[in-house]
Chain A
Amino acid sequence: MTAALEAHSITKKYRGADGVEVVAVDAFSFAVAAGEIVGLLGPNGAGKTTSMQLALGLLELDSGEIRIFGGDPEELSARRRIGYAPDAPLFPKSLTGLQVLELHAELLKLPKARAAQMVEELGFSEPARRSCGTYSRGQAQRLGLALALIGEPDLVLLDEPSAGLDPAGVRAMRELLTRLKARGAAVLLNSHLLSEIERVCDRVLFIKAGRLLRTHEVHAQGGRRAEVRLANGPQVRERLLQKLPDGVLENGRFRIPVASEDVVPGLVRMLVEAGAEVLEVSLGGAELEELYLQIVEGRPQPAGEPRS
């Protein structure tokens, strides 16, 4: 099956103000298939936004190739199927959010009513009637998201979509991504929220200085991890590791990959049967953070930690 987005060895260099050449993206290759959410993770300046802009043709490639739905990204028919929400978008100050959405609906040859429908779906009715010049960052972000999704695109590129959103907005964002995936859209997501990436992404691409460091299959490799704080960890170490060999016991915390939160009660039962005194159980987040620190920041892997 053809990937929705393929980047083959894309490279982009800038000349800085001091005349020194900076390699923003360095022979970076990746693909996003239909029904897949791929996350881009890396420090500031890693080349995540530049990679998205290259994929969309907003920047010219120095070398490499981009294919969208197997074809040239400049093809107008392909553009009908793309949605892009940039980080911190700005809109014409004298137009209302609804007018901006109506413009994009017209450009996509959709009925104007689709704009109002989108506004309703995203719970944006009140701000949509106001001038864009009055928007907070979060409201501009929501309008950007509405613009990205108005044409029901098959390929969606989201650059820091949760930045500036309130907790309800972040939750709505997560649900939206799940819906996009369910209807078979391909999503490339750039976010600094590791917990969000871990929850929604199928794959994570770790990049630094424009280079791909590692690809991490989130769910295939037990993307969720249970962390159990024990009162008597050292005393039950042998029994625990015998019963649950995938786990790691360190500093009184027992960590183990789990397929989903459904297995947590069973896990706690097993721990108790092995004689462990359970103080606290938490799920998710930690694994990706550890991986990020190891891969991107180069911190050493804790002893006994399985590599993914």
Chain B
Amino acid sequence: MISWPVARATFRERGRSGLALALAAMLAVSSLRSPPGQAFQGFGQALLILFTLLLGAGLLADEIESGHAQLVLLRPLTRADWYGGRFAGAALVLLGGLVLAFACSAGWSLAHGNFSASELLVLPVAFLWSAAWLSVVVAVGAAARGWTNAGLVVVAGIGWAMLMGLTRLASPELGALMVTAGKYLGPQQPLPISQLEPIAYDLLWLFGAWLAGVLLLNRRELARRRT
């Protein structure tokens, strides 16, 4: 399922990206004045989704289009192993960024004497939510070219939001229905932690998108076309 040599190489590669480091630093700085329970909501949530999109953008396509994926896939590993390794490497960078931001936030709270042990749960839950989104972006990337996978997810999100807004104007009842349905069109924000349903749902998205991504990649021809 996961090739760890591929995951390690991906971690090195994505973790050294200047943009990713900048976003991780911004996330950490933005968490400084918030307790962990709020660090990944609002502006923090927006930064986290940007960080996730950046890590997932072209995660597969960069390798496939350069031709390096083809060389790796000629080694004794399956496409699913390679896919899992790329995803795991990017997810580890994501986790690194989250741990840093969480440490900043928890440190701030501790210094001000308002940290509670229950807030430790925020880290795995926030990671699960962002990893589920990363899984979606990577799965789209199994069929998309370049960094268009991240773009497609953003466009789909904006498109759905616009459609919901217009529908609510035209028919408030249908609009309300779309808002309810919209919750199920991607991983759900589980923070603040009040119920288990969004967590279970994010787990479903994480592994569902992973499976779909592997199936899509298995159908893809990998040879780099000469121009």
Q: Which residues of A does B touch, CB under 8 Å?
A: 49-50, 53, 56, 58-60, 76-77, 79-80, 82, 84, 86-87, 89-92, 94-95, 99-100, 103-104, 106-108, 144, 147
Contact = CB atoms under 8 A, between A and B. Distances in A.
Contact of A104 (B17, B62, B72, B78): B72
11 contacts: A58-B222, A59-B223, A77-B76, A79-B75, A80-B75, A92-B62, A100-B9, A103-B5, A107-B6, A108-B76, A144-B71
Contact of A107 (B72, B221, B224): B72
A94 B13 contact: yes
A58 B223 contact: yes
Contact of B71 (A50, A86, A87, A95): A86
Contact of B12 (A77, A86, A99): A99
Contacts of A91: 66, 68
B67 A95 contact: no
B188 to A, nearest CB: 34
B181 interface: no
A94 B12 CA distance: 8
A103 B10 CA distance: 10
Contact of B13 (A58, A87, A92, A106): A92
B226 interface: yes
What are the 10 closest A-B residue pairs judged by CB atoms, nearest first? A90-B66, A106-B5, A107-B75, A76-B76, A53-B223, A58-B223, A59-B223, A94-B16, A103-B9, A58-B222
Interface in B76-103: 76-78
A107 B76 contact: yes
Given A92-B9, A108-B76, 7 more contacts: A58-B73, A89-B68, A103-B6, A104-B71, A106-B5, A107-B3, A107-B5
Contact of B70 (A86, A94, A99, A100): A86
Interface in B32-91: 62-63, 66-68, 70-78
A131 to B, nearest CB: 9
A80 B76 CA distance: 6
Nearest to A52: B223
A77 B77 CA distance: 10
Contacts of A108: 75-76
Contacts of B17: 94
Given A58-B221, A59-B221, A89-B67, A99 B9 contact: yes
A87 B67 CA distance: 10
Contact of A92 (B8, B68, B223): B68
A58 B5 contact: no
B71 A147 contact: yes
B153 to A, nearest CB: 23
A62 to B, nearest CB: 12
A90 B226 contact: no
A84 B12 contact: no
B86 to A, nearest CB: 11
A79 B76 contact: yes
Interface string B214-227: 00000001111010
Q: Which of B9, B17, B78: most chain A CB closer than 10 A?
A: B9
Nearest to A107: B75
